[in-house]
Amino acid sequence: MKVQKLGHFVDGREVHLFTMENKNGVKASFTDLGGVWLSLLFPNRSGKELDLLLSVENWEDIMENPGHMGEVVGRNSNRIAGGKFSLNNKPYQLFLNDAQYSNCHSGPDYYGRRLFTVKDEGDNTLTLSLFSKDMDQGFPGDLDFSVRYTLTDDNEVKIRYKGLSNKDTVMNFTNHAYFNLMGHDFGSLSEHEIRLHADSYTPSDSHLIPTGEIRNVEGTVFDFRTEKAMLDQKRLKEDLKEVGGYDHNFCIRDYDGTLRCAAEVFCKKSGIAMEVKTDCPGIQFYTGNFMSAEGLGKGGCDYGKHSGFCLETQFYPDAVNNPNFPSPIVKAGVVYKSETVYRFFRRLI
């Protein structure tokens, strides 16, 4: 693994870039600032190397990372309605950073703006750790958290999360990577098809807060049980006009806490495909509806609406307030572990 010094954090500590390369020449890079996954270099059908991840051009811009590109999200990914929850009969109030309707991604003091400690590194493995004190972001318990990135010779990026708290607390970690299988600078999802291994989803209100219902996808625009276009104009203009695309949680079929396939994406034009496996109960399919990164993208790209898609593995949004959802509460002294695997490959048709 190649390690480069990028500069210094606000407190003087060094910020580093870590680049892994497998036997196939596939490369992935990460930083200890925000635990950000910066790039994934993979050849298209003609052998041209494409960077499939949207990210910032300059590492300093991670502190203002629009759309949370590639960053580690914790303690809780996605939304908590009203920023409120109760645990062990004690109420907690989080900061309202999503139009005063919810707390989103545990902000505003996101993990993605913090400098992680390098705990371990190998040829193609990097473990980053972070200590989150009791009531950090409004959550109870001193939390020892780590994320481990591995690039395998099967062209997989494995992400393993681990947490241990001295109090019962919420643990719902994810990575907010944006992908485009035509390359980060293509600017459109028009060439993409997706299949989700989900028979149901969690409907939400106009503020993207789940209603508490788990609804079957059949007969809806959320039915991706067979491969179909990621976005089409009819759906955008009619069924999805309020949100401007997809930003919805899907319930992974036959969830039992073990690793299973949650999603598959294919781009016919580039010939590149990806598969997502996870042991989480849900996956947030997001089509970059609110994305805006003018001039901050790699090579000065103006990443805009629908320029990349996210597949964020997670517990359902607002699960801490919905007893019929799988619970993100982890007991004191219990080690929490979770894994998500993104595999990239070429496909003929």
* Catalytic residue list: 176, 312
With 0-12 CB in 10 A as exposed, 13-18 as middle and 19+ as buried, what is 249? buried
Is 136 annotated as a binding-site member?
A: no
176 neighbors 283 (Cβ within 8 angstroms): no
Q: What is the 3-state secondary structure (H, E, C) of 32-76?
A: CECCCEEEEEEECCCCCEEECECCECCHHHHHHCHHHCCCEECCE
Distance CA 293, CA 271 (A): 27
311 bridge partner residues: 285
3-state secondary structure of 103: strand
C-alpha 202/C-alpha 314 separation (Å) is 13
* Exposure b/e, 309-348, CB count within 10 A at least 16 = b: bbbbbbbbbbbbbbeebeebebeeeeebebbbbbbbeeee
Question: Is 332 annotated as ligand-binding?
Answer: no
Alpha-carbon distance 337 to 285, whole Å?
22
247 is in an annotated binding site: yes
Q: Is 110 annotated as a binding residue?
A: no
Q: Phi/psi at 197 (nearest 5 deg)?
A: -85, 70
Task: Please indicate if the annotation marks 78 as binding a ligand.
Answer: yes
Is 176 assigned a ligand-binding role in the annotation? yes
Length of the chain: 349
Summarize the annotated binding site for beta-D-galactose as residue ranges: 78-79, 176-178, 247
Summarize the annotated binding site as residue ranges: 78-79, 176-178, 247
